[in-house]
Amino acid sequence: MSSSTSRETTRPHAPFGPGRHRGLRATRIEKAKDVRGTSLRLFGYLRPHRAALVLMTLLVFTHSALSVAAPYLLGLAVDQFGSPVLLLRSSALLLATYAGTWLARLLEGYILATVTQKALYAMRRDLFEHLQTLSLRFFDRHPHGQLMSRLTNDIDAINRALSQSVVQLLTNMLNLVGMLLSMFTLNAWMALGSLTVLPLMLLVTGVIGVRTRQSYRELQAQLGEMNGLMEETITAQRVVKAFAKEAATLESFGRENLATRDVSIRANTLAFLVMPMMTVLSNASVAVVAGLGGWLAVQGRASVGTIVSFMSYSRRFADPLRQLANLYNSVQAALAGAERVFEIIDEQPDLTDAPDAVVADDIDGDVVFDHVDFGYVPGVPVLNDVGFHASPGEAIALVGPTGAGKTTTVNLLSRYYDTDSGCIRIDGRDIRDISVASLRQQLGTVLQDTFLFSDTVMQNIRYGRLDATDEECIEAAKLANADQFIQRLPQGYQTELSERGSNLSQGQRQLVALARAVLTDPAILILDEATSSVDTRTEVRIQEALLRLMEGRTSFVIAHRLSTVRNADKVLVIHDGRIIERGTHEELLAQRGFYHNLYMSQFKGTKT
């Protein structure tokens, strides 16, 4: 028994997920919409290895033929026990068969491993590289978990199918046909006799197969519930503690856990019933073969050698049948996975360079928003007829309540999204006519969400300009007032940051992000809430640095704190996606409008 377990483990764990996101053994049962097209494309990845594949197919045929021939020869040898000469001959033949099988399987395994892994390498590479070309709109629409799953679960499914299932399926079919042919050639009566258990075998696989599918689907749903709960609880573990809700959390987890256990027992009991049942049935068929063979042998209508051959066939007959359903499901899952992978690869980047896009280098930084309308979702406008002009070197402050459209405005300038109507010009040129790469090269951005990579502090700063020397990185850190705290870290600049920089405080993360932006030496500077978690004193220091940095550069600053925008050349007050007031700090105060209110409410604290 357990031979299907053994097959599953004969090859290394699939890249991208040693069961990582796979959940329990519940195999996903789903179908690709376009089986033909997806298969063709999947085989496209194998095409560079055509010659190897042809060779491998030949090897599969050889190995199947040889392994069908072996029991036949074995029976022959047994019948020749009486005559040493004949025995020598058939033993030699048997030896050749075994050696041939060994060689064929070995080569087959070598080729298969190399070809499939190379194909998977290419597929992962294509998927990842394509992801880099897609715009933020795409990432807004697709949760990270979902994209992770494309590169893990789906590639894993394809891997399993390519490196095991497809070849096994072919081998099994060939073996079945070969064995049937061989059995009927040897002795038709015994062939019929040993096939009496076949209907039972089919019945078992069929009935259990259908039931299993249903209960596995149930298991999948239940697992989803439980894993979702776990993921959420772990993410929110600190909140759980803050509210002393450990007991309640344990209780609800316990419920899901038990439910999962019970569903899993039900599903797996059924699924794992197939294997022992088939073993037992093949034992029964050995009994039939022995009995029937004996009876025929007594009458001289069969030889002992034939019985030996048949027993060997009977044992092996169950194997392919048992696996057919599983293999078929595995191939289906792979196709469905491949289809989703291709869906992403086919996603058209919605932000591409115009064919005649120019490279913007050495820009002055004259920025014009000309009647810009924009919405993330059609029909829900976020910006409405936004227009302004920033002369080279000017500092523009964007002010307004949360959700007014400040971040969106600077996102458009970086061309993370394209405007719905109106246009944005830099130095008089529509930014859609400038290559995206050269555009963003001119922009230095510190984003609301400061993201750091798990690497050293130094490398994180260097991310701004890869060819920067250590000295330049440190210089940038000094300019951003980050040097001081970095020096105090255990390993200074060589300190490894953990996942998302979680071993730094939020303010420290922002300082590193600022240093990163400083290093790029941009023509236009964008600071989106860059200092919201830095305390005011640190911010004062940063601002000194920024003032130096902003010198001669056009800059856009978003900050909720009005104090940070008082030095701006122009203040744009954005409210509900429109610019409702503009001017200098003093002019706006004098207007006694929206800005004046904002300012006063802050100044007077609680009085509005």
Partner 1 sequence: MRRLLRFLKPYAAQSILAMLLMVGLTLADLAVPRLVQRIIDQGIAPTDMELIRSTTMLMLAASAASALFAIGNNLLSIRVANCFSADLRSALFRKLQTLSFGNLDRLQTGQLIVRLTSDVTQMEHIVLISLRMLARAPLLLLGSSVLLVLTGRELVLIMLVLAPAVALVVWPIIRVGRRMFLQVQRSLDRLNNVLQENLAGVRVVKAFLRGDYENSRFDQANRVLTSQVIKVSQVMAFVIPTLFLLANAATLAIVWFGGRQVTTGMLTVGQVVAFMNYLSSTLWPLLMLGMVVGTVSAAQVSAQRINEVLDSAADISDQPDARALDEVKGRIEFENVSFSYNSDCSEPVLNGINLIAEPGERVAILGATGAGKSSLVHLIARFYDVTAGRVTVDGIDVREVTQESLRSHMGIALQETVLFSGTIRDNIRYGHTGATDEEVVAAAKAAQAHEFITEFPDGYDTLVGQRGVTLSGGQKQRIAIARALLTRPSILILDDSTSSVDVDTEAHIDLALLDWMEGRTSFIIAQRVSTVLNADKIVILDRGRIAAIGRHTDLMDSSPIYREIYESQLGDGGFDE
The footprint of partner 1 on residues 537-566 (CB under 8 A) is 537-540, 560-563, 566
In the list 44, 206, 224, 294, the residue contacting partner 1 (rule: CB under 8 A) is: 294
Give least dist CB 62 to partner 1, A: 13
- Does 577 help bind partner 1 (rule: CB under 8 A)? no
- Does 189 help bind partner 1 (rule: CB under 8 A)? no
Give the span between the Cα atoms of 337 and 156, in whole angstroms: 9
Give the span between the Cα atoms of 63 and 21, in whole angstroms: 35
- Does 48 help bind partner 1 (rule: CB under 8 A)? no
The single residue listed with the structure tokens 């089919």 is 202
Q: Which is nearer to partner 1, 294 or 552 (CB)?
A: 294
Residues in the chain: 608
The single residue listed with the structure tokens 């209110």 is 597
The single residue listed with the structure tokens 């856009």 is 556
- Does 144 help bind partner 1 (rule: CB under 8 A)? yes
Tokens matching residue 414? 């970086």
**Cα dihedral sign, 193-194-197-202:** negative
- Does 206 help bind partner 1 (rule: CB under 8 A)? no
Lateral strand order in the sheet of 383-390: 383-390, 367-374, 421-426, 429-430
**Cα dihedral sign, 151-152-155-157:** negative
Q: Which is nearer to partner 1, 182 or 543 (CB)?
A: 543
Lateral strand order in the sheet of 578-583: 443-446, 524-528, 554-558, 395-399, 570-575, 578-583
Q: Which is nearer to partner 1, 32 or 60 (CB)?
A: 60
Q: Give the x/- contact pattern for partner 1 in 318-357, rule: CB under 8 A.
A: ----------------------------------------
Residue 551, amino acid: E
Q: Which is nearer to partner 1, 370 or 376 (CB)?
A: 376
In the list 209, 507, 583, 593, the residue contacting partner 1 (rule: CB under 8 A) is: 507
- Does 101 help bind partner 1 (rule: CB under 8 A)? yes
Give least dist CB 342 to partner 1, A: 18
- Does 98 help bind partner 1 (rule: CB under 8 A)? yes
In the three-class reduction of DSSP (H, G, I as helix; E, B as strand; rest coil), residue 258 is classed as: helix
The single residue listed with the structure tokens 């690709």 is 32
In the three-class reduction of DSSP (H, G, I as helix; E, B as strand; rest coil), residue 22 is classed as: coil
Tell me how far CA of residue 292 lies from CA of 181, 301, 302, in angstroms: 19, 11, 9
Give least dist CB 488 to partner 1, A: 7
Backbone angles phi, psi at 464, to 5 degrees: -65, -35
Residues 240-279 that bind partner 1 (CB under 8 A): 240-250, 253-254, 257-258, 260-261, 264-265, 268-269, 272-273, 276-277, 279
- Does 437 help bind partner 1 (rule: CB under 8 A)? yes
Tokens matching residue 157? 């499914």
Give least dist CB 36 to partner 1, A: 28
The single residue listed with the structure tokens 């009935």 is 207
Q: Give 374's strand partners.
A: 383
Residues 209-238 that bind partner 1 (CB under 8 A): 227-228, 230-238
With contacts defined by CB under 8 A, name the span among 30-38, 41-49, 332-340, 395-403 that binds partner 1: 395-403
Give least dist CB 33 to partner 1, A: 24
In the list 51, 380, 428, 606, the residue contacting partner 1 (rule: CB under 8 A) is: 606
Q: How many residues in the shown chain lie near partner 1 by CB under 8 A?
A: 186
Backbone angles phi, psi at 417, to 5 degrees: -135, 160
Give least dist CB 241 to partner 1, A: 7
Q: Which is nearer to partner 1, 10 or 421 (CB)?
A: 10
Other CB atoms within 10 Å distance of the CB of residue 221: 11
Interacting residues of 18 by C-beta distance below 8 A, sequence separation 6+: none
- Does 363 help bind partner 1 (rule: CB under 8 A)? no
Q: Give the x/- contact pattern for partner 1 in 473-492, rule: CB under 8 A.
A: ------------x--x----
> Based on the number of CB atoms within 10 Å of its own CB, is 399 exposed (0-12), middle (13-18) or buried (19 or more)?
buried
In the list 34, 129, 551, 587, the residue contacting partner 1 (rule: CB under 8 A) is: 129
Give the span between the Cα atoms of 205 and 224, in whole angstroms: 27
Q: Which is nearer to partner 1, 184 or 272 (CB)?
A: 272
Residues 8-27 that bind partner 1 (CB under 8 A): 9-13, 15-25
Interacting residues of 325 by C-beta distance below 8 A, sequence separation 6+: 205, 209
- Does 530 help bind partner 1 (rule: CB under 8 A)? no
With contacts defined by CB under 8 A, name the span among 30-38, 43-51, 148-156, 178-186 that binds partner 1: 148-156
Q: Which is nearer to partner 1, 32 or 515 (CB)?
A: 515
